[in-house]
Chains A and B, each alone.
Chain A
Amino acid sequence: MRSIKLTLNGASISRDVEDNRLLVEFLREDLNLTGTKESCGVGVCGACTVLLDGKPISSCLALAVHADGCAITTIEGIAEGDRLHPLQEAFLAHGGLQCGICTPGQILAAKALLDANPHPTRAEIQHWMMGNLCRCTGYYKIIESIAAAAGGE
């Protein structure tokens, strides 16, 4: 068991975690932040994407102790009160989701892209988002949603 301190969705928290706890388990089971999904469990599908110090990571491959001293952003932390994040609005407006399992990961990956590169080309969006799998949309609507959010539509 180790004590960790981190900034979670903008708020400072301290918790004790088991040494072998994965970040995705810590978020979902210890903190009840179930917006982050675990799907493949081997870092391929992107469903468990969260931001660590602004960078997208697979929370299924990260140890919870490695969040110590870092800032973690999950899907629960990007709206401002009742006002959805522009990416969330765009995914709704452009049909960027169907079943929704991959959506938190898609939106966090897209947020990391737009934070680093506010006006990506369509090719840059496709290259960046390549690692977030979706079995519903066929991807067109996801790319459209991100392009719309980047364009402020």
Chain B
Amino acid sequence: MDLTSLMVAAAPAFIASAVEFVEATTIVLAVGITRGWRAPLAGTALAVLSLAVIVGALGVALVTVVPEHLLLGFVGTLLLLFGLRWLRKAILRFAGIVALHDEEEIYRREVAELRAQGRSRTEWDWVGMIVAYKATLLEGIEVAFIVIAFGAKGVAALNAAIVGALAAGVIVIALAAALRSPLTAVPENWMKFGVGAMLSSFGVFWFGEGIGAHWPGDAASIPIILATFLAASWLSVRFLRSLVPEGARVSARNV
């Protein structure tokens, strides 16, 4: 597998995983700063171990056992569902219909909830450990899914996707450890928009490959599909802004 093909797996896995790592880091930071670091770090380590087992067992089995065209069809379906969900929400956010994702607000809310629960200084902090474990595991499942999806083209692609996700994790965790505050400077809303379009593009591309469709230039078609998704999304944002004027914000559950 050539370098370009490996980058096709590593780069999107890096960007998509970075968004998930930022969200998990916000929760672990909130726990660590309010309740001490031992329990949340233990919870995080346990979650990472659980995720390694999931990716190791499921990912390797999928990539090595399932025939390639079936795997591409299956992964393409999951990617499309996953990507369209992100893209729809991102478009509604940029159109002002759904509130923008605010990491600072999430952090403040989490800290307030954790403080309200209180803790004994002498006992092991099970609350802190479970909150960190759940946050890391749940966001990590999304990372695992992203890695398996972008690595579906074979073992080399799977390894490239794992490297992309790990690099994102190392950078996000290092930044959070250095700053000791949620990474609000990360343009998460923009990244989610881009990742939604990217996941949807890969979903269309791989499902097409799985059913034997011909893509001109093979993987070179992906940027064209991506550009089409981005253009349609941008037009949708403009259209929705004219349909529901600025300031007419409603909560997501009402849409």
Do A and B form a real pair?
Answer: no
Q: A residues touching B (Cβ–Cβ < 8 Å)? A: none
Q: B residues touching A (Cβ–Cβ < 8 Å)? A: none
